[in-house]
Amino acid sequence: MAKRPALGAALKAAAGSKAVPKAAEAKRPDPAALAAAANPPEERRYVPPPSRNGTAPVTVHLSPEGRKLLRQLALDEDTSVQALMVEAVNMLLAQRGKPEIAAP
């Protein structure tokens, strides 16, 4: 079943309004969009900072409360969550008799 026209457009047409309904406006191509399609932007590639060379991400899922506590601890100690996590992993490795990892 075909969609009925908008009531506002029908009222304007009945009143003899020369205003263009929004549906007709949407069909016109946007000059900026046409220019962007003709000249696509150069592909940007993510370049990690040098401090991340030779490292790999490790993800841990925490409850929202745990995440908030960890962030607050980092704030209280004027450090980063990254530094706290490296410290925690080093403590765990030392406890298990394994060599520690490098500092952040």
- Residue 16 falls in which region: left (phi positive, over 0), alpha (psi -120 to 50) or beta: left
Give 17-48 pLDDT, tens digit per residue: 666 656 655 667 777 776 666 666 778 888 88
**pTM confidence score:** 0.54
Give 59-104 pLDDT, tens digit per residue: 999 999 999 999 999 999 999 999 999 999 999 999 999 999 876 6
Q: Rounding to the nearest 10 degrees, give the CA dihedral for residues 29, 30, 33, 34.
A: 50
